[in-house]
Amino acid sequence: MASPVLSTYRLQLRGASSGFAFTFADAEDLLDYLSDLGVSHVYLSPIMTAVGGSTHGYDVTDPTTVSAELGGAEGLARLSAAARKRGLGLIVDIVPNHVGVDQPQQNPWWWDVLRYGRSSAYAEFFDIDWELGDGRVVLPVLGSDDDIADLTVEGELLRLGDLAFPIAPGTGDGSGPDVHDRQHYRLVGWRNGVCGYRRFFSITSLAGLRQEDPAVFDAWHGEVARWVDEGLVDGVRIDHPDGLSDPTGYLSSLRTLLGPKTWIVIEKILAVDEALEPTLPVAGTTGYDVLREIGGLFVDPKGAPALTALVESAGMAYQAMPALLGELKAVATTDTLASELARLRRCIVAATGADDPRLPDAVAALLGHIDVYRTDYRGLSAALPTALADTAAAAPELGPALQLIAAAITDGGEPAVRLQQLCGAVTAKSVEDCLFYRDARLVSLNEVGGEPQRFGVGAAEFHHSAATRARLWPQTMTTLTTHDTKRGEDVRARIGVLSQVPSLWAEFVARWETSTPSPDPATALFLWQNIFGVWPADGVVTDSLRERLHAYAEKAIREAAWHTSWHDPDADFESAVHRWLDAVLDGSAARELTSLVAQLNSHAENDAIGQKLLALTVPGVPDIYQGTELWDDSLVDPDNRRPVDYGARRAALKSLDHPKIKVVAAALQLRRNRPQTFLHGGYHPVLATGSAAEHVVAFQRGDDVLVAVTRWTVHLQDSGWGDTVIPLPDGDWIDALSGAARSGATSAAELFAELPVVLLERADA
């Protein structure tokens, strides 16, 4: 095994057929750079064979092989050996919940099921709703049911355009429609709202697996076990365990398979008031909870009233957001996930022997009263009874249907499992994929695991959460940016500065709406903040930036599903938004955006550096998402998966002139030099005193490292630091960033003279 996991650096791998390649060989070329940066482990996106042209690897088609496009098993072995020579280890992202079925021929397990039906050796591998199709798998892949007439037979294939499906042995005679009627699958229009298998959320191209079946678990994890057994990797990141039938049981089996030393973290999205289940045999989560805490610390709560008023002036009743969320959850339950709801209903009826016409409404209402992804973790035992009580109190007429639900889930059987799986999907589709594209108060708060209605995070909450994490989850992952974040860390930092200048922001927006009227003020208010977040300091709008903003705007308005959507795009509204965006980029608003960025960018950079240092030094194992050691202006995927200029980063690391990479390198190297401090050292707040004390957040790790960052620096322009002092513990300290010696009570003006952050280590430790 390599050294303990002290830090990770996430790389997004992809084959050449995806548009541009980043393979094991490319990762190997970066190892010297990553070692010099101070990283302990290279963290790879999924590496199993995926759908051809995949840009992310989450649509695995063959979990028994390493992707040949990435370099295959040999390429992985070479990368691991090269990393070991440099004292680095490997972490790999794995996706046990689902596989890609968009191209059936590329998935041997799925293809076999379609060919042989329930007699297939893999029929029990997938969570298939055989009852829905009367023994056939219902595949919602057609534009409409009428497309059946256009099916053709080509040898042993049934074809429709680019779609190809297997023909069961001995059933290939006759016309396409006739042959289709004899198959183990039934093709239907995707607008019917039915699907014959559990999906990843509402994505029909990703079919759920039954990892609760030991045969499935063993078959799927054989390759992962080999990586660990042969010492190729040191840990795994588990994608979306909440989608599984039994996450706790799955993680227990995984821990047994991979052994006690393998570092395991899970992509578990925690609600603000939810603690990670303490009995799980993992090191922790992938860090969205820490992301919220760190980002929220730099949001000025004084800006909430003015930004709330601005949102309401655009026609959004902000106090009604909780009610809106309830409505969105109901839509997600009964419309987006109607197929899953129907399957759950049949399970409830089968378990109880009774039905109720209000059962779908009762399920939707119940899920509207649950604010976590699933409630069947031991530590959340009161969550579901509470939700049942709240639902009954809010809608007494649903009482009989709620009783049916309660009766069906009592023994923890299939109805209970499907309710939990539906709960997570509903939460994701309603919150992250819809509400977070509507809430325009301060969009930097609209992040996975976030709670925009809580306007930032106080220092007391931050300190307490960090200290708790040091005790309970010292090796959990911390992060600021992932392949799934809605905005990159530096974009969020810049947008967060608006909380310090809400009136100024409102003035600019009012002028822009006058000079360049938008098609919809609420939509524009959301987009204005994102445009500001990525606006170039030099004001030069490149073709690339224009294309990126247009692509983002289209995704944002479709996800919001107010005026247009993915399923029913409104061409007129979308065209109006695109015309407006071009007018913004080419008109007077562009000049004013450049002026505003010039006014606020130094504060945004201060906050970005502060967030980065905190993420690298608070309890936990920090992950650096590819490229974010320098300024990064990425928005949501696929924008955040663009090629990274590592030539620029190598040069920046050599010169250390860039403040962000200077902070990253210093913190990572300090972690490497003092592993006990960061893995096992405690967390102790250090409280500044004086007139500007609220602008400092500081803490000690162990007894030999002290971190201090500044925040809300716009307000310091007029008042300055005054008598603010940071009381350094006894002894001599050296700033790892500037080399300056410090001791005793030190004025903030002196401490932050060079950078808005300090990273002190004991000179004699």
- In sequence order, the β-bridge partners of residue 48 are 66
Mean pLDDT across the stretch 225-234? 98
pLDDT band at 635 (very low <50, low <70, confident <90, very high): very high
**pLDDT tens per residue, range 290-321:** 999 999 999 999 999 999 999 999 999 999 99
pLDDT at site 765: 65
**pLDDT tens per residue, range 372-400:** 999 999 999 999 999 999 999 999 999 99
Residue with tokens 């204005």: 528
Residues 6 or more apart whose Cβ sits within 8 Å of residue 130: 118, 136, 137, 196
Neighbours of 278 (CB within 10 A): 10
Contact 44/90 with Cβ under 8 angstroms?
A: yes
Lowest mean pLDDT among 175-179, 694-698, 715-719: 715-719
The separation between CA 553 and the C-alpha centre of its own chain, rounded to angstroms, equals 19
Q: What is the DSSP letter of 211?
A: T
Using a 10 angstrom Cβ sphere, with 0-12 exposed, 13-18 middle and 19 or more buried, the burial of residue 425 is buried
Token digits for 452? 């925009």
Query: Rounded CA gap, 577 and 571, in Å?
Result: 10
**289-303+444-490+603-678 CATH, one of 3.40.50.300, 1.10.1740.10, 3.40.50.10800, 3.20.20.80:** 3.20.20.80
pLDDT at site 414: 97
Residue with tokens 């007429």: 397
**pLDDT tens per residue, range 31-90:** 999 999 999 999 999 999 999 999 999 999 999 999 999 999 999 999 999 999 999 999
The one-letter amino acid at 443: V
Q: Share the mean pLDDT of the chain.
A: 97
pLDDT band at 758 (very low <50, low <70, confident <90, very high): very high
pLDDT band at 2 (very low <50, low <70, confident <90, very high): low
Helix (H, G, I), strand (E, B) or coil at 401: helix
pTM higher than 0.95 for the full model? yes
Q: DSSP for 50-105, please give it.
A: ESTT-SSS-SEEEEEEE-TTTTHHHHHHHHHHHHHHTT-EEEEEE--SEEE-SSGG
Mean pLDDT across the stretch 264-275? 96
Residue with tokens 């089968």: 350
CATH of domain 679-762: 2.60.40
Break the chain into its structural domains and give their ranges: 9-96+217-242, 104-208, 289-303+444-490+603-678, 317-437, 679-762
* Crossing angle for the helix pair 214-229 and 247-258, to the nearest 10 degrees: 40
Phi, psi of 587 (to 5 degrees): -110, -160
Contact 670/761 with Cβ under 8 angstroms?
A: yes
**pLDDT tens per residue, range 19-29:** 999 999 999 99
Using DSSP bridges, classify how beta strands 199-200 and 185-189 pair: parallel, antiparallel or unpaired. Answer: unpaired
Phi, psi of 191 (to 5 degrees): -80, -5
Alpha-carbon distances, residue 130 vs 101, 136, 342, 556 (angstroms)? 17, 6, 13, 36
User: Is pLDDT above 60 for 1?
Assistant: no
Contact 692/457 with Cβ under 8 angstroms?
A: no
Mean pLDDT across the stretch 224-242? 98
Alpha-carbon distances, residue 122 vs 109, 184, 351, 514, 608 (angstroms)? 6, 13, 27, 61, 49
**What is the enclosing helix (H) or strand (E) of 312?**
helix 304-313
**pLDDT tens per residue, range 705-732:** 999 999 999 999 888 999 999 999 999 9
Query: Rounded CA gap, 44 and 79, in Å?
Result: 11
pLDDT at site 49: 98
Mean pLDDT across the stretch 262-283? 97
Fold of the domain built from segment(s) 9-96+217-242: TIM Barrel (3.20.20)
User: Is pLDDT above 80 for 477?
Assistant: yes
**pLDDT tens per residue, range 422-455:** 999 999 999 999 999 999 999 999 999 999 999 9
Q: Is the CATH number 3.90.420.10 carried by domain 104-208?
A: no
Token digits for 236? 């795994």
Q: What percent of the chain has a predicted confidence (pLDDT) above 70?
A: 100
Token digits for 430? 């309603």
The reply to whether 9-96+217-242 and 289-303+444-490+603-678 are identical in fold is yes
**pLDDT tens per residue, range 584-598:** 999 999 999 999 999
User: Is pLDDT above 80 for 479?
Assistant: yes
Q: DSSP for 484-499, please give it.
A: T-SB-HHHHHHHHGGG
**pLDDT tens per residue, range 405-425:** 999 999 999 999 999 999 999
